[in-house]
């Protein structure tokens, strides 16, 4: 019986350590990683996933825009998805303004052709503003 209690305690301690590691990994996510995950989902037109990386306000705006997009004619939505599926964001620079809880992440949008041999062309340079919240780093604005 004592052997079972020791074994059970070991399992509980191991589970607690694993959970602590998982939560520590999530909370220590860097602002650049959050921006990269957000941009990947955003340019893949996976707006519900992209909203998870946003502040509450920006996430709500993004989901409202998604609802409006769903009202578009199916052929228009298909053309938009066909056109944007070859877009790929690439982070080029990160800078910290005077506030320590805020980061600006500059990125370029690269567009590749329909074949895998084409060289991606830079079509736009933009930035996202990432802020530290109680839930960790979140995208607060697209510029």
Per-residue confidence (pLDDT) for residue 133, from 0 to 100: 96
Residue 59 counted as domain residue: yes
Residue percentage of the chain with pLDDT more than 70: 76
User: For residue 118, is pLDDT > 70?
Assistant: no
Q: How many domains does the chain have?
A: 1
Looking up residue 123, the CATH number of its domain turns out to be 3.10.450.50
Which of the two residues, 73 and 119, has the higher pLDDT score? 73
Q: How far is CA 67 from CA 37, 57, 91, 112, in A?
A: 22, 16, 28, 28
Q: What is the pLDDT of residues 15-54, one digit of tens each?
A: 343 433 334 444 468 999 999 999 999 988 888 999 999 9
The H or E element containing residue 44 is: none
The H or E element containing residue 20 is: helix 2-27
Residue 24 counted as domain residue: no
Residue 10 counted as domain residue: no
CA 77/CA 71 separation, integer angstroms: 9
Residue 4 counted as domain residue: no
Owning domain of residue 56? 29-142
């Amino acid at each position: 019986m004592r052997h079972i209690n020791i074994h059970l305690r070991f399992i509980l301690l191991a589970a607690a350590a694993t959970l602590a590691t998982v939560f520590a990994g999530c909370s220590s996510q860097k602002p650049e990683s959050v921006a990269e995950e957000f941009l990947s989902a955003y340019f893949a037109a996976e707006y519900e996933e992209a909203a998870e990386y946003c502040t509450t306000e920006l996430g709500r705006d993004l989901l409202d825009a998604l609802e409006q997009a769903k009202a578009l004619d199916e052929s228009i939505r298909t053309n938009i998805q066909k056109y944007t599926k070859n877009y790929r964001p690439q982070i080029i620079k990160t800078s910290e303004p005077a506030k320590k809880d805020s980061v600006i992440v500059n990125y370029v949008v690269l567009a590749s052709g329909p074949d895998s041999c084409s060289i991606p062309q830079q079509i736009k340079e933009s930035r996202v503003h990432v802020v530290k919240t109680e839930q960790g780093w979140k995208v607060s604005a697209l510029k």
